[in-house]
Amino acid sequence: MAGKKKAVVRIDAGAPGGVIGLERYSLGQGGLSSDDIIGPHVEQLKWLKPKVIRLFLQEYYDVYPAHGEYDWSKLDRAVASIIKTGAKPLMSICTKPKALYPEIDQDKVHPTNYEEWEALITRMVEHYNGELGYGIEYWEVFNEPDIGESGGCPGRFTPEDYCTYYEHTARAIKRGDAKAKVGGPALAYVKSPLLPALLAHCSERGTPLDFVSWHHYTDEPKVFADETRYVRGLLAEHPGLSCETVIDEWNISLGWESTEHQFQPCFIFEATREMLEAGVDLSCYYHVRDYHVSREKFGEFMSVEGNRFMSYWWNVMPQFHGLFDYQGHMRPSYFVFKTLSRITGARLGVESGDERVRGLAAWDADWEVIHLALWNWPGEKGGSVDVQLEVANLSGKKWRYYRRDFDAETASSDENDRLRLVSHGDIEDARKWSEEFTLAPYGITFVALKKFA
């Protein structure tokens, strides 16, 4: 590296800020099956420490098999598995029981009897937050109501229809648990007219709205910050509302324009940083595991065309979005979230001399360790970057450092292969530590500085 201009990256260990709180950038699963998709991965997911795992309350759970009858058995199993991971479910209500929706039609969005619908929803909330005592915080009204079956759920709403449906459902949730947070619309497109209509409706009628939610699949992480600013602009027009911002489906583009193995892991880091900078309150990476769907089961509540789309998409098309693949094997993205789960405590600023080198860092006072990740998001400039990392204002007499490079290419699921140890050593009687290395495009390195005395 001699003779080359280095990008100096500085971190001041003596200037910790507020709690970094990356656990709020969490996970989701569904809506694919009533099988216990989370169950086989509880132990691995525990180590990611997600705050929530979003769950679709889709019709395959059969929670309302007949008028006045409730069956929580299938849904109980899915919810219990999420609870075992240490997370709480974010419950996305997008079910259409035959007793209340006798005709399969994505444009028939209102139940035949709203009193009966509200009783179902209130009873559901009471079951999970009262009888079982789970204290589920987030309850979301439908999923991608702006696009219907092409979003995997059998309901395509006009703004007026959604506001009516939301009003009934949100108030039913609050009757079940006044402390529950209700929100939506979980839009496929953030600029759908459903969102401004919902904000106006809730503002005018005093309807509870604790969070607004939307989705995006893109290869440009800055979009998440741009959309958050757009939503905050809409909220500013209704000062009586106080809503959290929730991006509860996100990942790389569904068109798979960038299929290099190293792209997606780096994208997750950069998207998380963008959401943190934008102040996004909660997000759910979609999703935990890729999973095949039952064409027979989906045919019970979706049209022939919608069912054909869903079954071909999940059963034939290539998929890259799960932390686990169809066979349950960990993908590189799993280890990204495991790395993020270690960046805990008080946030430390990352000052970079090259716009391509981005990072996240934090001081954990309990463990007495600094954890930091740096990556090369190449943008239009492209190319590798020679980095000189400097961590200043270390307190105490002895530290030990470890630096690991993220390997997105290895087929191994061994963490020591995925996060390869490339350097380590002691730091004694020094207030500053530095190291030089090169970050290739989309390259990632992870550093731990552990205080011993």
Confidence label for 259 from pLDDT (cuts 50, 70 and 90) = low
Residue 106 has pLDDT above 70, yes or no: yes
325 and 194 share a domain? yes
**Res 388: pLDDT:** 98
Q: What is the CATH number of the domain that holds 32?
A: 3.20.20.80
**Res 3: pLDDT:** 53
CA distances from 214 to 18, 118, 282 (A): 27, 24, 11
Whether the Cβ atoms of residue 110 and residue 99 lie closer than 8 Å to each other: no
**Res 256: pLDDT:** 72
Whether the Cβ atoms of residue 157 and residue 165 lie closer than 8 Å to each other: yes
Helix/strand/coil for 399: strand
Residue 248 has pLDDT above 90, yes or no: yes
* Alpha-helical runs (H) found in 14-113: 42-46, 73-84
Residue 260 has pLDDT above 80, yes or no: no
206 and 349 share a domain? no
Confidence label for 261 from pLDDT (cuts 50, 70 and 90) = confident
Residue 382 has pLDDT above 70, yes or no: yes
Task: Assess if residue 2 is contained within a domain.
Answer: no
**Res 272: pLDDT:** 98
Confidence label for 5 from pLDDT (cuts 50, 70 and 90) = confident
**Res 255: pLDDT:** 81
Domain around 281: 22-340
pLDDT in tens, 340-354: 999 999 999 999 999
351 and 425 share a domain? yes
What percentage of the chain exceeds 70 in pLDDT?
Answer: 99
322 and 376 share a domain? no
CA distances from 233 to 145, 195, 275 (A): 22, 12, 16
Prediction pTM value: 0.96
CA distances from 328 to 39, 240, 323, 403, 449 (A): 11, 46, 9, 29, 33
C-alpha 129/C-alpha 131 separation (Å) is 6
pLDDT in tens, 314-342: 999 998 899 999 999 999 999 999 999 99
**Res 30: pLDDT:** 82
Task: Assess if residue 209 is contained within a domain.
Answer: yes
131 and 240 share a domain? yes
Residue 1 has pLDDT above 50, yes or no: no
393 and 248 share a domain? no
Q: Which residues contact 388 (CB under 8 A, 6 or more apart)?
A: 6, 7, 8, 9, 434, 435, 436
pLDDT averaged over every residue in the chain: 96
Task: Assess if residue 135 is contained within a domain.
Answer: yes
324 and 397 share a domain? no
238 and 164 share a domain? yes
318 and 372 share a domain? no
Task: Assess if residue 232 is contained within a domain.
Answer: yes
Q: What is the DSSP letter of 130?
A: I
Helix/strand/coil for 73: helix
418 and 304 share a domain? no
Task: Assess if residue 1 is contained within a domain.
Answer: no
pLDDT in tens, 18-50: 999 999 999 999 889 999 999 999 999 999 999
Work out how many domains the chain is built from and give that number.
2
Task: Assess if residue 120 is contained within a domain.
Answer: yes
215 and 286 share a domain? yes
Residue 129 has pLDDT above 80, yes or no: yes
Task: Assess if residue 73 is contained within a domain.
Answer: yes
Average pLDDT over residues 280-296: 97
393 and 445 share a domain? yes
C-alpha 212/C-alpha 234 separation (Å) is 11
Which of 340, 375, 403 is a domain's end point?
340
Task: Assess if residue 250 is contained within a domain.
Answer: yes
Q: What is the CATH number of the domain that holds 365?
A: 2.60.40.1180
Which of 340, 368, 397 is a domain's end point?
340
Report the range of poorest mean pLDDT among 27-31, 75-79, 247-251.
27-31
Which of 305, 340, 375 is a domain's end point?
340
